[in-house]
Amino acid sequence: MLRKGLSRTGRVLAGLALAALVGGAADTPAPLDIAHWRQVFARPDHTPTPGDNPATPEKVALGAKLFEDARLSGAGDVACASCHQAELSFSDGVDRHVGHDGQPLDRRTPPLWNLAWGLSFFWDGRAPSLETQAMVPIENAREMAGNLQTALRALSADPQMRQEFARAFPDDPAVTQANLAKALSAFQRTLVSPETRFDRWVKGDDTALEPDELAGFSLFVGKAGCVACHQGWRFTDEAFHDIGLTSGDKGRGPVLGVGAADHAFKTPSLRERVWSAPYMHDGSLTTFEDVVDHYADRVVQRSTLSADLPRRIALSAGERAQLVAFLNTLSSDDPPRPASLPARTMALGAVADAVSASTISQKDRRFTPGAVILKAGDALRILNDDTRVHNVRLDGPGKSFSSDAQNPGDTVTIGFDQPGHYDVICGIHPEMRLSVDVAQAR
């Protein structure tokens, strides 16, 4: 509270000083297209939930309890909430949490806001769903050092728990691994970050942002280039980028087996980050000021840098302060409480009408067309006419494929011999989805 109050005053003063100093700045930015950006950053009115794990109040309540239950850990001393602390944006305030072996973990504890919209989980995206993610920390020797079977036995021995599992899962009233994962995930999907001053501005309140904050937003979507990756109301494209930090962690590369994705990490949301310092996968940057200085002049030059990262951004001290002022408007003034939105069962990602085509384009991080019909025996050509490196992947029953790094200009050809449905994605930009239906050859 105090910290935030001070920084708010500091911001106003900095803004005033700045206006006096740079009154006639040399490079005039393009005028802000307010109507456009208000549309781009509008919040949704419901939370997506997967069809096989619909949210019910009983399930969410059970998940919330399990999230704080140390019986999930080997020694009964660590719960999910030990590292993901509500008052710290479900993070832990340290660069790297000290693990069970007394050594710091490899990566920083990420905040858990707005994961219902996530397409992959962990900094390197190695878990495809919240349900699969939840089991990992329990058995991780350095995190909870637990054993699932032991944890399930401990929970089953508690009559109250048995009853709560039965209420949450009336069709399958048992304390099982699947139900544990479903309850934890259903709870985590309710962690929607609340509206902040920025959202009031998005909804049309022109007075919600101070002039220096609005100037910071202009830089964010303009010459600072931040919006290339931090896009949409959650401020993430769900993609993996190398932004040139000094850390030796290879991130997404080893997960995909694609060297071009080395040092790439999932773009984090920027919501409620005032409460979750320090920043980045290694917790190496302490303040928003450090983050902005990083992008402006500390990027480590290497071949794996994201095509979406501006190579040089000239930002004056005043402009840096404005960017920081804007970042602050994405956080609540008091420790945030989750906002609840009605849940709606839906698949993430738009489903396009399938057309018959043999060549697919990948321009602007989109497969076009997004859905195709083929005949068994046909081949599909996928042309990278984008400016970015892609990694075409297909994982399905009886068929798996990875293109390795597909550079701009490269074409990848996949043959389809068996009828069926296939989903093709880009391993570096998982929001790119191509649905392939292969019909029986006649």
Relative to beta strand 265-266, strand 240-241 is antiparallel
Contact pick of 60, 62, 72, 88 for ligand HEC (by CB under 6 A) = 72
What is the per-residue binding string for ligand HEC in 262-301, x denoting contact by CB under 6 A? Answer: ---x-xx-x--x--x--xxx------x--xx--x------
Contact pick of 64, 88, 105, 221 for ligand HEC (by CB under 6 A) = 105
**How many CA atoms within 13 Å lie on the side-chain side of 57?**
0
Contact pick of 14, 209, 215, 226 for ligand HEC (by CB under 6 A) = 226
**How many CA atoms within 13 Å lie on the side-chain side of 343?**
19
Cβ-based neighbours of 199, under 8 Å, separated by 6 or more: 43
Which of 86, 122, 125, 137 lies closest to 335, judged by CA? 86
State the minimum distance, in angstroms, from the CB of residue 288 to ligand HEC. Answer: 6
Task: Check residue 241 for interaction with ligand HEC (CB under 6 A).
Answer: yes
- Strand partners of residue 426: 392
User: How many residues at the interface with ligand HEC, by CB under 6 A?
Assistant: 52
Segment contacting ligand HEC by CB under 6 A, of 41-49, 117-125, 368-376, 411-419: 117-125
Cβ-based neighbours of 113, under 8 Å, separated by 6 or more: 89, 90, 191, 192, 193, 234, 269, 271, 272
Task: Check residue 243 for interaction with ligand HEC (CB under 6 A).
Answer: yes
The secondary element (H helix, E strand) that includes residue 64 is helix 57-67
Task: Check residue 110 for interaction with ligand HEC (CB under 6 A).
Answer: yes
Dihedral angle of Cα 106, 116, 391, 270, to the nearest 10 degrees: -60
- Residue 196 tokens read as 């902040």
State the minimum distance, in angstroms, from the CB of residue 361 to ligand HEC. Answer: 22
Segment contacting ligand HEC by CB under 6 A, of 39-47, 122-130, 194-202, 362-370: 122-130
User: Nearer to ligand HEC by C-beta: 19 or 307?
Assistant: 307
Q: Is the dihedral of CA 394, 399, 404, 405 positive or negative?
A: negative
Task: Check residue 199 for interaction with ligand HEC (CB under 6 A).
Answer: no
Segment contacting ligand HEC by CB under 6 A, of 9-17, 41-49, 118-126, 414-422: 118-126
Task: Check residue 230 for interaction with ligand HEC (CB under 6 A).
Answer: yes
- Residue 142 tokens read as 């350095």
Task: Check residue 152 for interaction with ligand HEC (CB under 6 A).
Answer: no
Task: Check residue 308 for interaction with ligand HEC (CB under 6 A).
Answer: yes
Task: Check residue 429 for interaction with ligand HEC (CB under 6 A).
Answer: no
Task: Check residue 107 for interaction with ligand HEC (CB under 6 A).
Answer: yes
Q: Which string of DSSP letters, residue by residue, matches 273-317?
A: GGGS-SBSTT--B-SHHHHHHHHHHTPPP-TT--TTS-S-----H
Which of 325, 331, 332, 380 lies closest to 357, judged by CA? 380
Q: What is the largest CA-CA distance in the chain?
A: 76
Q: Is the link from the previous residue into 369 a cis peptide, with omega within 30 of 0?
A: yes
Which 375-414 positions form the footprint of ligand HEC (CB under 6 A)?
none
Q: Is the dihedral of CA 102, 106, 107, 109 positive or negative?
A: negative
- Residue 327 tokens read as 């970042």
Which 124-143 positions form the footprint of ligand HEC (CB under 6 A)?
130, 133-134, 137-138, 143
State the minimum distance, in angstroms, from the CB of residue 302 to ligand HEC. Answer: 13
State the minimum distance, in angstroms, from the CB of residue 174 to ligand HEC. Answer: 19
User: Nearer to ligand HEC by C-beta: 250 or 399?
Assistant: 250
Q: What residues line the site for ligand HEC (CB under 6 A)?
A: 72, 78, 80, 82-84, 97, 105, 107, 109-110, 112, 115, 121-123, 130, 133-134, 137-138, 143-144, 184, 188, 224-226, 228-230, 241, 243, 245, 265, 267-268, 270, 273, 276, 279-281, 288, 291-292, 295, 306, 308-309, 323, 327
